[in-house]
Structure 1
Amino acid sequence: MDIKQYDFDLPEELIAQVPLEDRSSSRLMVCDRSTENIEHKHFADITEDLNSGDCLVLNDTRVLPARLFGAKEDSGGKVEVLLLHQTEEDEWEVLVKPAKKVKEGTKIVFGGGKLTAECTEIQEHGGRKVKFSYEGIFLEVLESLGEMPLPPYIKEQLSDRERYQTVYAKEEGSAAAPTAGLHFTNALLEELQKKGVELAYLTLHVGLGTFRPVSVDHIEEHDMHAEFYQLSRKTADQLNKVRENGGRIISVGTTSTRTLETIMRDHGTFTEASGWTDIFIYPPQKLQAIDGLITNFHLPKSTLIMLVSAFAGRDFVMEAYHRAVEERYRFFSFGDAMFIK
């Protein structure tokens, strides 16, 4: 399948640079798959489209302040390190800039020596493995020295790093936020629960590979990076019961969707599971796990817009994106949302 089928013109000024003061005041495009009707609302209005017995599936991963700025111990040359995921105690897979300056054995110093890293392995695609040394608790050191790893298309500094976390973020480990969840406030979640909408939680630690554009001409040739996921027995039982009772399972974000689809394809039902997934969902694949999807507006030619197209149909999704540009919706991480039902 040609990648050009998932390209579209996006004016740069529609890329949201800062989050809105009120998370739930973002705009919401409601897309009905059965009628191909499109409505324009605000995110707080999502209560109108969710029913008692429905279940929202939320990714409770928490973004690490994973961008570190340091200097080579021998030369003092500046180095930027981005943590991707932990492989062993104190050992991480990372991206470094400038990569050609970091060889095996290179030592990098952060925060005047509060944290040091030694490159232990050069990997494919420019990645590195490094082993950290420090005193105390690693996450506390990271909190004091690290910056939030905002996507490269966001040029503004983030004044409050909690705005790049969902209000229910709990499990440390992501290199990027599950951005569909950024629209929810605690008050909105409470309102939905009072209406009888259930909340279920899973974890998928988001890697940067999720967001990069596909660089091959034919999407079948694209390799997905693996990401760690976990679904508890409690959540699995909850989802199976919702389905038995005729409620809708509504995934909040593509990260929750990939987790649920991985488990459904491997087991045929929702079950307790954890591991690494490199699932790549695109048409004409059919999604088996979800009945609705809340998601942001994504990059042209990204795996995310392909996943959304597998759920709602490519033509309908591309028409919705065309409308979003016409109506001046805000795009990407701090942008507006769509609810596909």
Structure 2
Amino acid sequence: MSVKDYDYDLPKELIAQDPLEDRSSSRLMVLDKTSGEVEHKIFKDITQYLKPGDCLVLNNTKVIPARLYGVKEGTEAKIEILLLKRKENDVWETLVKPGKKAKPGTKIIFGDGLLVGEVIDIVEEGNRLIQFHYEGIFEEILDQLGQMPLPPYITHQLKDKNRYQTVYAKYDGSAAAPTAGLHFTPELLQQVKDMGVDIAEVTLHVGLGTFRPVKEENVLEHHMHSEFYMISQEAADKINHAKETGHRVIAVGTTSTRTMEAAADENGHLTATSGWTEIFIYPGYRFKVIDGLITNFHLPESTLVMLVSALAGREHILNAYKQAVQERYRFFSFGDAMLIIDK
């Protein structure tokens, strides 16, 4: 399976640089996963496609202001750090730019010494383990010094940090937002509940591995980075109940999808659990839990395009993306949405 099979032409001007004023007014492409038929709607029309008894599954992770700018002790050379994974004793796995300035033993000063990081080791792909020293509460210092880790294709400055957060974000830990959820407002979620749709919340802390391009020519040789997830008993019960009563489970985002599919047993049954997943979903995969997916438009040749192709078929997806380009949909994190479902 070649990575080139998942390429498509995207004009740069279609990459959304700013979030819309009203989250739920983005466009919504509805793709019938069996026939490939496409409809063009507005996101708040999502209620037309949900039914009482369905279970909508959200990822309630919260993005941390994970991008830090500091200087190297002694030389004052500028260094940028992206926090990826929290370890024990204030140690984080990080991405450092420029990496060559961050040898073990290097100290990096942030905020005039409010926070000091010491490089203690180099891990896979050149990432660094950094131990942080500070006084007070780490999260508060991070909130003061850190910036939202917007993807590199977004070049505009974000005016309001909360616009790169879902309205239901709860648990700190992500290096990127679960962007399909950015379209929901509290009012729209209430409308969905009032229809008799069950809402379950799972947690997956999104790492950058999700968005990394596939560098191998053969897709099967690509290795996913591990990400931490949690499923509560309440969420497992709601999802299982929908399956057992013949209703649909609709994931909001590829992260919710990967959480459920990683945690389910062979029969698609879930129990309360937590752990790390490296699940890589591509065509040929048999879904155990989800029946539908709300998602954004993803980067060419990315693992996310492969995941949606596993659900709806590569030809249907590439055809839908071609139509999205023709219709001038907005792409990627702050872009428009797609609902993949059997209508």
The TM tier, using the shorter chain, reads over 0.9
In 2, Cα distance between equivalents of 1:159 and 1:125: 32
Deviation at 1:33, TM superposition (A): 1.6
In 2, Cα distance between equivalents of 1:105 and 1:125: 19
In 2, Cα distance between equivalents of 1:18 and 1:138: 29
Corresponding residue for 1:6?
6
Deviation at 1:267, TM superposition (A): 7.6
Q: Judge which range, 33-42 or 60-69, deviates more.
A: 33-42
3-state DSSP of counterpart to 2:338? strand
In 2, Cα distance between equivalents of 1:34 and 1:5: 20
Corresponding residue for 1:122?
122
Q: Does 2:109 align with 1:109?
A: yes
Q: Does 2:329 align with 1:329?
A: yes
- Could you list the runs of 4 or more consecutive aligned residues of structure 1 that deviate by over 3 angstroms after TM superposition? 265-268
Deviation at 1:35, TM superposition (A): 2.7
Deviation at 1:326, TM superposition (A): 0.7
In 2, Cα distance between equivalents of 1:197 and 1:149: 33
Q: Does 2:30 align with 1:41?
A: no
Amino acid at match of 1:286: R
Amino acid at match of 2:272: E
Corresponding residue for 2:32?
32
Corresponding residue for 2:255?
255
Deviation at 1:265, TM superposition (A): 4.6
3-state DSSP of counterpart to 1:88? coil
Deviations 1:16-57 (A, max 9, x none): 000000000000000112332110000000011101111110
In 2, Cα distance between equivalents of 1:259 and 1:58: 10
Corresponding residue for 1:180?
180
Amino acid at match of 1:45: D
Contact 2:260 2:289 in 1 (8 A): yes
In 2, Cα distance between equivalents of 1:310 and 1:236: 24
**Cα RMSD (Å) of the superposition?**
0.9
Deviation at 1:266, TM superposition (A): 6.8
Deviations 1:64-104 (A, max 9, x none): 00000000111111100100010113110000010001000
Contact 2:267 2:288 in 1 (8 A): no
Distance verdict in 2 for CA 1:245–1:28, change over 3 Å: same
Distance verdict in 2 for CA 1:81–1:236, change over 3 Å: same
Amino acid at match of 1:99: G
In 1, Cα distance between equivalents of 2:93 and 2:36: 43
Q: Does 2:154 align with 1:147?
A: no
Where in structure 1 are there 5+ consecutive unaligned residues?
none
Deviation at 1:263, TM superposition (A): 1.0
Identity of aligned residues (%): 62
Deviations 1:188-225 (A, max 9, x none): 00011111111100000000010011011010000100
- Aligned pairs for 1:290-309 (under 5 A) are 290-309=290-309
Task: Give the TM-score, by structure 2 length.
Answer: 0.98
Amino acid at match of 2:257: T
Distance verdict in 2 for CA 1:241–1:271, change over 3 Å: same
Amino acid at match of 1:104: P
In 1, Cα distance between equivalents of 2:308 and 2:169: 23
Deviation at 1:126, TM superposition (A): 1.4
In 1, Cα distance between equivalents of 2:11 and 2:266: 40
Count the aligned residue pairs.
Answer: 341
